[in-house]
Structure 1
């Protein structure tokens, strides 16, 4: 009688041990129904390896949403982020991916509303004065007009997916300012562009808080990996031009993916009290 009891004990012990070897959160991740919304920073523009079926949206297999889905095997995954997206185009063209069964969603949006591409073009091609004017106009928009647009979008997202946890990711500083040689834009321009990122992130973080969404700040993660750092995770001016000032593949895997994971963890802790 001892042998069967020993075998039974061993089998039970093995089952318990096997359970302890499952990575923390794996079970919950496997049950997630994840939707990735947003603009080019979520689509993965600049990271290469684009899905041809995504067309001009330029969704990359190296973008953080795809990387997270590959690693966690959620129950479902809908990747609808699109290059050039604004709050309006997300509202009109992406929210159909959300529904009452969605449990997790991520988004980057707001940079295009504030005219990111136009500001960068002005700063690259024109004087310090012209750059400062463009940056200040973008900051005024981010402070005065963007909040209402984000509030409306986040409200619509919640209405579509009332049970989901929403992770809102911000934008990194573009330039490393603590030493090193930086050919191209002046210190004045680089400082102004980083300041614009701060204003934009502050606006996004506040709107996320109002909506009870989780904001994940990627600036600390990208710190010392901005342009001019010598170990940059961002594209400078490149060909094709649309990749410029977007995260590289390393910026997605080492910058945005950890930022998203941080947000998912924070959202789970908030939900659990």
Structure 2
């Protein structure tokens, strides 16, 4: 596979500590019914290592060029607050999140009665779902590279324990989305799904070091998570934004077309997290969703 050229670790350190946000002008001719936008979410919203990293606080690894920032510019909103933070789970919407230095306040603190648009991209850290996958599956590949050792590891008595956890995540998300209404009763609430990490077919173990049979299982886990997000949105009166479908062909194996990084720590993307291209892609998906009035 072709590899992106790295500009070195110093570039990554510079990006992660920079506090100056890039000024982004509204899209030409942008018109919107939304004026006060608040973004909430985890690292797939925050954008760790994507330049430029904001310092409010630095521990959230929040980019000034993540999809909420790009969406705010496309919409031309009057006010925009990004409350997302890497490592957040649904409990951190209403409770402080402990960081390496200090705390990030509850994300719902960013909401106001005048808030009229809220995006919520969260859930993958509940029950350590994503971290259990990426911390476990690469190490199991060598045991059975053509099989599905990670699926087998998480299956107990014929039950996929991660998918059981996802069922509980759905309940957490529904409660969170319903609670938004008490903080921002006028807001249109969008529940943002997760883009695909693994390809629909094929393998790239040098980038995504899972056993061959676990690629399909990883897709099934992500689809189950997105199904939980969609179900929570429907039950709470929010609107689900599908990024799974639009990210077809932009998985971690897609070389220069990838929206998602693989296992490597790169200057401009954390392992298994979106590149800047992914943030641009997702912002476009959300913008189109709003423009259609969905």
- Tell me the distance in 1 between the aligned counterparts of 2:219 and 2:50: 22
Q: Is the 8 A contact 2:71 2:284 kept in 1?
A: no
Answer 1 or 2: which has greater helix percent.
Answer: 1
Contact 1:225 1:233 in 2 (8 A): yes
Report if the CA contact (8 A) 2:45-2:66 is conserved. yes
> Alpha carbons of 1:263 and 1:46: their partners in 2 closer, same or farther (altered >3 Å)?
farther
Report the counterpart of residue 123 of structure 1 in structure 2.
137
Q: 1:226 aligns with which of 251, 274, 287?
A: 251
What are the Cα deviations for residues 135-185 of structure 1, in whole angstroms up to 9, with x where unaligned?
Answer: 732211112x11221121111111111100011110122111334654332
Q: Aligned residue for 2:173?
A: 150
Aligned residue in 2 for 1:97: 110
Q: TM-score, normalised by structure 2?
A: 0.76
**Cα distance, 1:218–1:173 mapped onto 2, change above 3 Å:** same
How far apart are 1:73 and its partner, in Å? 3.0
Does the C-alpha gap of structure 1 residues 173 and 166 become closer, same or farther in structure 2, counting only changes over 3 Å?
A: same
Aligned to 2:98: none
Instruction: Identify the residue that residue 19 of structure 1 maps to in structure 2.
Output: none
Within the candidate set 133, 158, 182, 2:153 is matched to 133
8 Å contact 1:132–1:189 — kept in the other structure? Answer: no
Structure 1, residues 160-211: CA drift from partner, whole Å, max 9, x if none?
1110001111012211133465433222121111110000000110110111
Across the aligned residues of Structure 1 and Structure 2, the Cα RMSD in angstroms comes to 2.2
Residue 233 of structure 2, aligned match among 208, 214, 217:
208
Aligned residue in 1 for 2:261: 235
- Measured after TM superposition, the shift of residue 103 of structure 1 is 0.4
Secondary structure of the structure 2 residue equivalent to 1:257: helix
Q: CA deviation at 1:240?
A: 6.5
1:36 paired residue among 11, 34, 39: 39
1:5 is aligned to none
> Matches of 1:121 and 1:131 in 2, distance apart?
14
Whether 1:26 aligns to 2:26 is no
Q: Whole-Å Cα distance in 2 between the matches of residues 245 and 193 of structure 1?
A: 13
Name 2:18's counterpart in structure 1: none
8 Å Cα contact 2:252-2:261 kept in structure 1? yes
Q: 1:202 to 1:56 in 2, by over 3 A?
A: same
* TM-score, structure 1 normalization: 0.82
> Residues of 1 paired with 2:222 and 2:203: CA distance?
21
1:48 matched to 2:51? The reply is yes
Q: Which residue of 1 aligns with 2:77?
A: 74
Higher Cα Rg, which structure: 1
Q: Which runs of 4+ in 1 moved over 4 A?
A: none
Change in Cα spacing, 1:71 to 1:259, as seen in structure 2 (3 Å) is closer
1:130-209 alignment runs, 5 A limit: 130-134=150-154, 136-143=160-167, 145-179=168-202, 181-183=204-206, 184-209=209-234
Any gaps of 5 or more consecutive residues in structure 1?
1-21
Aligned residues: 242
